[in-house]
């Protein structure tokens, strides 16, 4: 019986997970790039509005300077070569050059807008792929966990079957109490994997432990009674 209790305790420890399963890392949110893009669009819109107002008030130098100051505050510091080019262009005041530069700037803006659209589409596809991958990882982890539980159930079932076979042999050879104990033990072991995931796990462990103490105490008391009876019989025979 003590060997059974030891074996049962080892099986319980083997069936209980010692380390909780790792949780998947959170998927990066798509919102970061969206927030930056919206802020940039808002800043560009306000800058363009200041330039338009400055052009509309060309006859008011003070308004022009103030609006262009607002626009300049929203723009980066220009490269020295670009600034020199703009100053030379202003000094030359060539209408054809201005027209060519306007067309070039419009084309550059269209190219940048197209690249932004492509980037946003790729980012959305990446986010969808990451989401699908996370779902697949979760499914695989669940399948692994189910396979692990199935393996544990098979192990407990094999041990339970072995205990019940031994119990049958014990009863067949006249060891009824031992056989009954092995049969009950086999049933208990077979139920362990189903108890592990239930709220009755700890009460069941406590009940088995208490039952083991009661059975052990009963056997000890019975052996004590047998020993006393044997001593009494020896005394009677000696007398």
Closest CA to 30 of 129, 140, 155: 129
pLDDT score at 141: 92
pLDDT score at 11: 43
* 8-47 pLDDT, tens digit each: 444 444 444 444 445 545 544 556 767 887 888 898 899 9
Residue 115 lies in a domain: yes
Residue 101 lies in a domain: yes
In this prediction, what percent of the chain has a pLDDT beyond 70? 80
d(CA 154, CA 157) in angstroms, rounded, equals 5
Residue 22 lies in a domain: no
Angle between helices 2-15 and 95-172 (to 10 degrees): 170
pLDDT score at 152: 82
- Measured in degrees and rounded to the nearest 5, phi and psi for residue 75 equal -110, 155
pLDDT score at 170: 84
Report the chain's mean pLDDT, rounded to a whole number: 80
49: domain range? 31-133
Side-chain-facing half-sphere of 112: CA atoms under 13 Å: 9
pLDDT score at 104: 93
Q: Give the chain's domain count.
A: 1
- Measured in degrees and rounded to the nearest 5, phi and psi for residue 160 equal -65, -45
* 97-135 pLDDT, tens digit each: 999 999 999 999 899 989 988 988 888 888 888 889 999
* 43-71 pLDDT, tens digit each: 889 999 999 999 999 999 999 999 999 99
Let me know: does 76 contact 47? Beta carbons within 8 Å. Answer: no
In this prediction, what percent of the chain has a pLDDT beyond 90? 32
Residue 143 lies in a domain: no
d(CA 40, CA 68) in angstroms, rounded, equals 18
Q: Where are the alpha helices (H) located in the chain, listed in sequence order?
A: 2-15, 31-56, 61-73, 80-92, 95-172, 176-196, 201-238
Residue 52 lies in a domain: yes
Closest CA to 208 of 224, 190, 232, 226: 190
């Amino acid at each position: 019986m003590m060997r059974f209790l030891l074996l049962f305790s080892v099986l319980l420890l083997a069936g209980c997970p010692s380390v909780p399963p790792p949780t998947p890392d959170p998927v990066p949110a798509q919102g970061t790039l969206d927030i930056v893009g919206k802020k940039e669009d808002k800043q560009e819109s306000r800058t363009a509005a200041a330039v338009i107002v400055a052009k509309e008030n060309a006859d008011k130098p003070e308004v022009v300077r103030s609006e262009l100051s607002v626009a300049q505050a929203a723009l980066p510091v220009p490269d020295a070569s670009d600034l020199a080019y703009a100053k030379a262009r202003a000094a030359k005041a060539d209408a054809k050059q201005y027209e060519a530069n306007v067309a070039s700037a419009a084309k550059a803006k269209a190219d940048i807008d197209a690249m932004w659209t492509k980037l946003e589409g790729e980012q959305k596809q990446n986010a969808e792929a990451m989401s699908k991958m996370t779902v697949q990882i979760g499914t695989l982890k669940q399948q692994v966990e189910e396979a692990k539980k199935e393996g544990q159930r098979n192990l407990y079932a094999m041990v339970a079957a072995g205990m019940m076979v031994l119990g049958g042999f014990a009863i067949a050879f006249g060891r009824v109490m031992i056989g009954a104990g092995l049969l009950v033990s086999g049933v208990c072991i077979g139920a362990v994997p189903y108890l592990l995931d239930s709220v009755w796990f700890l009460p069941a462990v406590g009940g088995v432990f208490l039952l083991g103490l009661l059975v052990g105490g009963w056997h000890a008391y019975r052996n004590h009674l047998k020993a006393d009876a044997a001593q009494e019989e020896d005394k009677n025979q000696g007398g």
